[in-house]
A and B are shown apart, each in its own frame.
Chain A
């Protein structure tokens, strides 16, 4: 088995897939705790559906670089969904659900009407569940992914304490002179970038798993914000690596394998948490 693995690793596309997979897993785990606690667990699904919709529009328009449309549209939706907060007419989960299914339906319809490929259902399936496109990355896409990942991690580290303050107690933060709105905006933008990045890896439907599973697992065992954050980052990377290797060796679909590994990890962490007598809420 090791032999087969080493054999595969000789191919650049396998190495690219591993690098991109690890980076995306790292980024997506960072904001998990914040999103879970703000009751935005499903934001990943909502935004990735928007990204899916935007991508079909880009395909129909025959744009050479889809990202120039997908990224701004997703960022805009993230800002609208996350910063609307309490004051909006449509609150949290309802707004996310509406945007999510709306964009999904719209995108699928566009794909049907303006179909450019002969195998429509395979196209749709790969956008929804992640595709083998992670194994067909070009060096340009890999570089783009590295740049965006570095930006996301840097932004997260620089704003770490502010993200904590705004998540833990928005009223207090705002009242004592922190610009909570601006930092909610920062969170929204980071989330959007992560989602667009992660779509390649696991597809629109499974993306929430990548965002929330590591955070939920880490919260079972760890009890401070810092340790939960670090643990979920490490766990997410480990699960992504394991998932990628299994799918390469076993020929299983990449996205769902990674999510399955995450689910197993969650089970193990829950068990550890219970044995340690920790809190079993989340």
Chain B
């Protein structure tokens, strides 16, 4: 069957799926949806449909993630009138009311309704107008939460694999020019221009070349790649195929974290479908280009996000980095020319090839084109996965999209780039987010983790946290990283315990500087960033720990104590029940007290208290 005929068939399948008068229930079931209980919700819906005799009349489909993680489990229901309503925070116990209200009576179930997906409703806002959604531009996430990720027809009907056929029509050199014109830069963190990178690998002459999709998303607090792989695997695989075509590689690898079993399952399913349609194998669609994709599961090593380490790992070795040159484009996997791109980059590639470089370059800033996904988490009201045009301000991201800091607390900083990045203080809230601006303030774009920090988080403790991570993940090959992370961690630990000295602040700056200049790979070169940026912007917090032996944020346990204010305590007993070590005593309706001998400073009582009666000092 020709591509055009196959596409028509897919269109027909999509039309049936989108047929307005057919009952349909979409359940967001990426990993976070499942963790929130989406599979139990689906079961409850199935039971209710059966009760009403609607099992045959309604489609129920697991879709990927709309990115509104705070509102999981999310369910979209389309009734007989064609109205599509998105519900949030759905639990199995809600299934009966939802089905009864919308599918039987044809009304919107207002207690859980978040938005209508299309059109306008009197009582419920339109999806595209929601404050979390309105500033977003979804290119990489174009299909997530909208299509059934296990159905290639849905991807095809929404323009999928047209980028591939357009690439075949253009020829490899023109594809590389198109990438250069789009201005796309590597979304794994470093931001190297994708088209230029492809050009290097294309120019290497060899009997065998490889392309690799780096899906070893190791930054703690980042889950963009997982969501794309789970919600729209074909977007990434099509991008990988186009990369292979452009550089002349016949084999592609997807190196995916083993911690992402659902993503791996979706990838495997998608690869099988590509084979069935002749999008993999020899001579794809008569183009003369042959391509195969293999999946390699990572085994839990952060350093394997670094390209040379990753290739060592695929070869079955310890994932330790190699010195460059030679660069992978000359000598990479198995000593052959290799091109590595990140998941998000490849998902953008398939969109750019479908819609054209000029369209993509129309978004973003002069040197940072297009969009960037971020995993917005930490102390923020609306946690989620977002995609915004480059150049958007931090203020828009945090206040509009994220809905501001959790519980109305004071915004203190935002951490970008994970363990390789830095903390951007509140004074830069109007900063435009692109590669250059983030670097100017000492942080990096990174892969897209964005953790919001409020007044209750201690910046010294944040630095210590990231260093404990990099110290643990340092592969130990080069001295600056191996010893540097150990020394930084030791000093940060003494400071958080109130045993630090002012002299250590200068020593840490010097060590950090040496690590930046002398480490072998990106892990070591950037590992000191969390320390250096917090020292730059929050030195007074370090000094408070050292000189006053106080943690201003009330987070470092060795330096704080909790007490109950008898004037505010109502004796409700919530703290007593929350205390894991039975350190709280008191009669009902009488002020309670904390036994300091038993208290472990866990803060559970403070969290549990509704009257702000637990004081921290």
Please indicate whether A and B come from the same complex rather than being unrelated chains: no
